[in-house]
Amino acid sequence: MDSEDFWQLIGAARERAAAGPADGSASTCVDGEAVAEAAVALLAARPAAEIVAAQQELWDAMAASYTNPLWAAAYTINGGCSDDGFDYFRGWLIAQGRDVFERVTADPDTLADLPAVRAAAAEWEELDCEAVLGIVWNAHLRATGEQLPAKSFTIRYPALDPDWGFDFDDRAEMARRLPRLTALYAHHYADHAAGH
């Protein structure tokens, strides 16, 4: 499995999740969880070697999205963002498919254009999906009854950009760097500052 295969898997999982029964939930993570479950089912049907190889592709996508600008965007959307929270946010982002992932990774301010983000902003609902991080593990367990082999992947996170090493609570600096996203969430931060 290579990067192209991995993103085709996510695309197929998105199609399957979209065709599945709707449960009427308004949670934005339900879609991510449905994509994750569909990806597990699709991946579990593949040979074990392909399943194992998918783990490297998943974590390569996680590494590619490990940037301070995206972390600042996740901080804005979720009202804060820990290390684990950033992992789960990127899981949600992977579940949105390759086109969205690549566009947002290149320019996190484009998150403000996504319907899911705009809907989440209306209620200040968090966007995260931890389930995406376990798709390969769960597919391998389902297909083989065994855990993924030890050392089946490596994580190569890039160094974070020191130019973005400022306090993400600095609303003026965030507005300068992520203007559309900050504007979308401005009323929440104003309410929070006012104690509402």
State the Cα–Cα distance between residues 182 and 112, nearest whole angstrom. 9
In degrees and rounded to multiples of 5, residue 98 shows phi and psi of -65, -45
pLDDT value at position 25?
Answer: 43
Residue 171 predicted with pLDDT over 70: yes
Percent of the chain with pLDDT over 70: 90
pLDDT value at position 28?
Answer: 39
Selection from 157, 137, 132 nearest residue 149 by Cα = 137
Residue 84 predicted with pLDDT over 80: yes
State the Cα–Cα distance between residues 175 and 177, nearest whole angstrom. 6
pLDDT value at position 187?
Answer: 81
Q: Could you read off the pLDDT of 26-68 as tens digits, one per residue? A: 333 448 999 999 999 999 999 999 999 999 999 999 999 999 9
The CA–CA distances, whole Å, from 167 to 29, 98, 145, 164 equal 27, 30, 45, 9
- For residues 109-136, give the mean pLDDT: 95
Residue 132 predicted with pLDDT over 50: yes
pLDDT value at position 44?
Answer: 98
Residue with tokens 């929070």: 192
Q: What is the reported pTM? A: 0.91
